[in-house]
Structure 1
Amino acid sequence: MIGYYAHHQGAGHLTRARSIAACLREPVWGLSSRPAPVGWSHPWTELARDDTPRPSDEDDVTAGGMLHWAPTHHQGLAERMAHVSSWIAEHRPSLLVVDVSVEVALLARLCGVPTVVVALPGTRLDGPHRLAYDSAAALLAPWPDDAHTADWPQAWRDKVWCVGGISRFDGQTVPARPPAASGQRRVLVLWGSGGRAVAPSMVAAARAATPGWTWTERDPHTAPSADLWADLTESDVVVTHAGQNSVAEVAAARRPAVVVAQPRPFGEQAATAAAVERMGLAVGLSGWPEASRWPALLERAVSLGGARWDRWSTGDGARRAARHLEALAGTEPSEVVA
């Protein structure tokens, strides 16, 4: 049996877990501080939170820089780590996918379980990331092999699985887009659940600067989409934050795009925006531009088109990840305990 740990921050880790689990032929068991995602049909263990209540500012949550998050004397942290280790002892998984947590990855490895750590973009050469990546049996990278690994140590490149983007829409047929009414072209703006650094007034200024374009925003907190696939495929240009799942969904829909990085630890989104720009897949920006730049940016996105997204996502990223996991899990006996 394969264990799959998904971090509670944002929605992307859970979405990716669901996509990969749906392609696994090996039994899988999910663990997270959040409830199982909609559509999850496998066993699930909900863990205690390790960030509520928040530790004091004086607490050394990084253990002197050796870890990312290990607040001292925190009941939730103690409970979740005890729960993970007892789950390992009881169910004896053949491996644990960790998406993402340095501390959970190290705990599993100390319990004798091989780990597959989901790699993230950005600068990950700090001590805690090195501990997790160095000790992993493999690194699962949901991007193409020329996107983010150029500055990695050779040992990491030797064990990485670059499977391409993973989207819940992989395998869907992109419909022919109906013509825009009255000549108006459509901009779809996508925000994620991890927060945004762009004020509504900045979006309003961009809208005012682009006559001939109709702007629609989708934000999971304030304006969720009833049918995101339809929103994507009916747009002329998608303006999206640079989160891994949103970029993968735009790639699956093969839409022209402007990818705007939001502030994230380790420069995660800045690295993704730079990658899609460098690879010529979409317009990639390190931050929200001045309103006067938007007419040219939208036209540049249209000229790039969406066909080049096939370099980022071939539509089978989750299936490729599942086959890699099954091959690795097959090196040791797998036991399922109900």
Structure 2
Amino acid sequence: MVIGYYVHHQGSGHLHRMLSIAAALDLPVTGISSLARPLEHSGPWLQLPRDDQPRPDGDVTAHGALHWAPLGHNGFRDRMQRIATWVTDVRPRALVVDVSAEVAALGRLLGVPVVVVAMRGDRSDRPHRLAYDVAEALVAPWPAAAPEPWPREVLSRTAHVGALSRFDGRPVAPADPGSRTVLCLWGGGGPVPSAQLSAAREATPGWRWVFADGSRDERSGDEVWRLLQEAAVVVCHAGQNAVAEVAAAQRPAVVIAQPRPFDEQQATVAALRTLDLAVALDDWPQPHDWPGLLARATALPAEKWLLWNDGRGAARAAEVLERVAHGEAAP
């Protein structure tokens, strides 16, 4: 009995999620991605060709029905063929998709129960509706206290498991009341706002700013965790992975939405603001705002982050996958 797990190549959050959930599963997991097999994954890995190199011409959306289905592209054709061949040969009991509307549809057309890892934001477009409609279950890596305004039929198949990160389960050190360190946790989610960071440093002379790139490289994990534990305040974008790691460390935070398709990060910021978990901003602030923002962040009770990430998100997601794999109703 095998579970396949498709990992999108953009950013590091999809891969970190897969590694956390795979570690919590009792069933073997085959990773499926155009990313290189990570050192942390001990199971099989189906290596896929890229479908965006060379950059395709013409319509890649099938007239708006899909997100990415370039015509006549060898990489796209070959990756779909490899997935189909693997399904035929291995006959997995479930296919997790994080994220691709096209792979979700392919899995269901091949007769495999599909579990889609959901994303925040406006997912009412045709491709997302297709992916969510064909899924036996959706895993939402955020708490039920901050739901998305989805149709009832979709919510009925959605398991709100809470956030999960590679740092879940690590002991959290008490905050140092004398720390004046601001950690900017950025990384694979987009370009570093270097000019804005320089202006923020200049506007807060009593604070020491440090930077971590949040790399998926295994060797960087311990260093990122150390920096999180030493920080008095964390500044990060509103990507799911970055917020999950700050929540795991239980550190005060200023979370700033970055432009993303479907307003994903704006939706996360709105949820954090509603739950009063962080100083949550829709845009990068003006330099003169930073002293007040850091003061507001440090006044928030850090333990409130347990509402977002209590360390059991991966275990809950694994429970959903195992129910689907055994043919049981989920969530």
TM value normalised by structure 2: 0.95
Residue 281 (structure 2) aligns with: 285
2:253 aligned to which of 234, 244, 257: 257
SS of equivalent residue, structure 1 residue 22 = helix
Separation of aligned partners in 2, 1:219 and 1:43: 28
Residue 82, structure 1, aligned to residue 81, structure 2: yes
Separation of aligned partners in 2, 1:61 and 1:235: 44
Residue 335 (structure 1) aligns with: none
Separation of aligned partners in 2, 1:230 and 1:197: 21
1:246 aligned to which of 233, 242, 249: 242
Q: How does 1:126-145 map to 2 (within 5 A)?
A: 126-145=125-144
Question: What amino acid maps onto 1:260 in structure 2?
Answer: I
SS of equivalent residue, structure 2 residue 299 = helix
Separation of aligned partners in 1, 2:109 and 2:222: 44
Question: What amino acid maps onto 2:90 in structure 1?
Answer: H
Separation of aligned partners in 2, 1:40 and 1:313: 23
Q: How does 1:94-113 map to 2 (within 5 A)?
A: 94-113=93-112
Q: CA deviation at 1:148?
A: 3.4
Identity %: 54
**How many residues are paired up?**
323
Residue 184 (structure 2) aligns with: 189
Residue 323 (structure 1) aligns with: 319
Deviating 4+ runs (over 4 angstroms): none
TM value normalised by structure 1: 0.93
SS of equivalent residue, structure 1 residue 16 = helix
Residue 33, structure 1, aligned to residue 34, structure 2: yes
SS of equivalent residue, structure 1 residue 304 = coil
Q: 1:220 to 1:315 in 2, by over 3 A?
A: closer
8 A contact 1:187–1:215 mirrored in 2 = yes
Q: How does 1:1-338 map to 2 (within 5 A)?
A: 1-56=2-57, 59-149=58-148, 151-178=149-176, 180=178, 185-196=180-191, 198=193, 200-220=194-214, 227-331=223-327
1:170-209, Cα deviation, whole Å (9 max, x unpaired): 11110134454xxx611000112131362x1211111111
1:249-286, Cα deviation, whole Å (9 max, x unpaired): 10011000000111111011111111111110001111
5+ unaligned residues in a row in structure 1: which ranges? 333-338
Separation of aligned partners in 2, 1:68 and 1:202: 32
Question: What amino acid maps onto 1:192 in structure 2?
Answer: G
Q: CA deviation at 1:9?
A: 0.8
1:286-308, Cα deviation, whole Å (9 max, x unpaired): 11110011111111101113111
8 A contact 2:169–2:311 mirrored in 1 = yes
